[in-house]
Amino acid sequence: MTRDIYVDVAIAGCGVAGLYTALHLPREMRVLLICKEGMEECDSMLAQGGICVMRDEADYDSYFEDTMRAGHYENRRESVDIMIRASRGVIDRLLSFGVEFDKTPDGSLQYTKEGAHSRPRICFHEDITGKAITQTLQRHVKRLPNAAILEYTTMTDILEENGICTGMTARTRDGGLLRIHAQDTVMATGGIGGLFERSTNFPSLTGDALRVAKGHGIRLEHLDYIQIHPTSLYTEKPGRSFLISESARGEGAVLLNQKRERFVDELLPRDVVTQGIERQMKEENSRYVWLSFASVPQETIRSHFPNIYKRCLEEGYDITREPIPVVPAQHYFMGGIYVDSESRTTMEHLYAVGETSCNGVHGKNRLASNSLLESLVFAERAAVSIAAARKEEVSYEPDYHAACG
């Protein structure tokens, strides 16, 4: 059975990028969000370390340089500048939404540091920052009178007329086909981790938007820019790899070889640390290296890393007493659908935001905790661009609630 739905904006993906886009669209626009799985299974939920912010004007130069250096200077400088300068506004907005970032005793934001950062500038909530942000945004989107969400609904293609995107097609869990007609369409389907044997991503992330874009001749960029995270918890069990946040190393955790000796500077960029681990594993013919929290105060472990502490206990490791085995795993995709600074693709009325897009912020290697920030900044810019372009356009006739209800 095929059903036609008519909306102003169709968004594929319910991670932070899709949600933040919806929240910044005018309330008179009718919005439909779809997600491939349930709302709980989006990679934004899995972000542990935090979200970066420019602490003050004096921090701009070092933040810019840290991002560029981590990206091997292949970043688009304009995009990096946009992200950094918009960062404080994003954090303030998240606070107004009710995100509970960790605070110091005087009530100010507490900052942590991760690899390749020259100073602490990362806001966080324990070690589940992504979950805290995503669930907060979900609550706000669900309250929107102009938005609806369809779970377990997979984008299968886009609708195209005379080279212009006019919506998307999708398949529901029961096999039904939807033709979602929209004046503007936003792809926010996440990364490609589900294509890898060992990944920190949910297996449902299989690059759907990339496949669709390629089929329509939409420009893609840097498809080989795939980030491997240095530290996932080693296990023989199948399934998604459990990430051990880089902020653990930022707080003092160190990497050890099988002789319990340090062998790399833990605070170098991720790709450099990953290469060091892989060399060590090859030299020792081992399947993992060790990560020791011995230098991290137990109070910090229990307050900053409660989820990591709990998960490691479930796997038989007490990080307050012993090191844990870690191994690199696929983590993030820096390439994707090419977009400009307003998140527009090379097809008119089609936008891409979040990990499925490539606006050039990350270059060849993403700086830690820039992913949530980049997603939010450029999602808002997509929404603003859509609204600005539509001021003088007439929206579709309203049969939205009947179609989606």
Using DSSP's 3-state secondary structure scheme, residue 128 falls into coil
* DSSP secondary structure letters along 309-332: HHHHHHTT--TTTS-EEEEEEEEE
Cβ-contact 269, 365 below 8 angstroms: yes
**Which residue out of 55, 270, 311, 390 is catalytically annotated?**
270
Helix (H), strand (E) at residue 148: strand 147-150
Spatial CA neighbour of 259 closest among 290, 237, 232: 290
Phi, psi of 243 (to 5 degrees): -75, 135
**Computed from CA positions of residues 318, 111, 43, 272, in that sequence, does the dihedral angle turn out positive or negative?**
negative
* DSSP secondary structure letters along 1-44: -EEEEEEEEEEE--SHHHHHHHHTS-TTS-EEEE-SS-TT-SGG
Strands 350-352 and 254-256, bridge-based pairing:
unpaired
270 is catalytic: yes
**Computed from CA positions of residues 333, 178, 131, 202, in that sequence, does the dihedral angle turn out positive or negative?**
negative
CA dihedral 173, 203, 303, 259 (to 10 degrees): 160
Using DSSP's 3-state secondary structure scheme, residue 200 falls into coil
Catalytic residues: 270
